[in-house]
Amino acid sequence: MDCLNQTKCLSDFPTTLPSTTDIIVYQTYAERQLVASMLAIIAIIAFFGNGLVVVSVILSKKLRTITNVFVVNLSVADLFTALNLPWLVIGVLSPEGWPLPDKLCVFGAFMMICCLGCSATTLACIALNRLVLITRPKTTFQWLYTQKKVSAMLLFTWGIPASIAIVPLVSPIGELGFDTRYYTCSWKTSDPNTGIYSILVSVAFYPIQLTIIILSYVLIVRHIRKHTKSIIPDEAPSVSGGIQTTRESGVQKRIRRRQVDVTKNLFYVVCAYLICLTPYCVILVVPGGHEVVMYVAIILMFNSCINPFIYATKHPDFKKVFRCILF
């Protein structure tokens, strides 16, 4: 039943709110407190977890690889997400709307969109990085992943989301600020073009990246299977140079196994992100469902604190460095 038609529910909301046709999705103030608590917990875990990832790469020379440049970029995006979550907590708990300057709310919404898009685009870059590293010659990898080109890729991961986030600021498509429906700093649902902007965000941050990720990992799996079959006849050492051949094959095998383990770890990260992102992107383009949007968004935000746990339990290098830092 609509909360606005209930006297008891009305007592939980300020009478000074703007009179709009928006539906306030929170039935009671206790529900808003629950949402704020979940956001606060996610912010704390994400801040310390992703901070640990960044510190680990800084302290450990072994972790300073090309792939981990993108891993750090992903952690930085999650760190910024964690730093923006307190603004959402303030908005959700505020009894009289947004209590701080409007520009701060607009900035928070802008950064949240940037971080969301950066995470998705960075995961696509990680998938391509693993694809080139495992399936292409070493010279190809070295040519493609130079310092300048990697810097350009990182700029791209932030530039595309920023260009999407700035659309409401320079055009009539959408509006950033305090949304009176969800009590959050995001794009306003009261804007007549909010549906168009929601579709724009969903299309820009989901299908292209998803396609790149799926194709990359499918090609990696095919290459690993093909390569494994091709080296089976060569496992037995030759009579003339058996010791040397076996030793070289053993080194190559360990390197290959290590790359596969790292790729598996990053694939877990991708899977976790897609599981958290998919419901949010779907709900943006599906009519209705206003009551669950905030909870789907919380699932998306929860992804910001998952990755460090995956690194700590699955990644062969991060696991050791985390243990050294913490203990």
How far, CA to CA in Å, does 151 sit from each of 79, 84, 144, 147?
Answer: 20, 25, 12, 6
pLDDT of residue 10: 37
Q: Average per-residue pLDDT in the chain? A: 82
pTM over 0.85: no
Of 154, 201, 212, 180, give the one whose Cα is nearest residue 290: 180
As separate numbers, helices (DSSP H) first and strands (DSSP E) second, the chain gives 13, 2
Residue 111 has pLDDT above 90, yes or no: yes
pLDDT of residue 238: 46
Q: Is residue 103 part of a domain?
A: yes
Q: Is residue 32 part of a domain?
A: yes
Q: Is residue 2 part of a domain?
A: no
| Mean pLDDT in residue range 189-204 | 88
Rounded to the nearest 10°, the torsion over CA 156, 160, 163, 168 is: -150
104 near 149, Cβ under 8 Å? no
Q: Is residue 13 part of a domain?
A: no
Q: Is residue 6 part of a domain?
A: no
Tens-place pLDDT, residues 32-87: 899 999 999 999 999 999 999 999 999 999 899 998 999 999 999 999 999 999 98
| Mean pLDDT in residue range 21-39 | 80
pLDDT of residue 139: 94
Q: Provide the CATH number for the domain around residue 261.
A: 1.20.1070.10
Structural domains in the chain (count): 1
Of 279, 112, 265, give the one whose Cα is nearest residue 184: 112
Q: Is residue 95 part of a domain?
A: yes
Q: Is residue 159 part of a domain?
A: yes
Domain carrying residue 54: 23-234+244-326
Tens-place pLDDT, residues 220-259: 888 887 876 665 554 445 444 444 444 445 656 666 676 7
Q: How far apart are CA 19 and CA 201, in angstroms?
A: 28
Look-up of token digits 């383009």: 285
Q: How far apart are CA 117 and CA 4, in angstroms?
A: 35
Q: Is residue 171 part of a domain?
A: yes
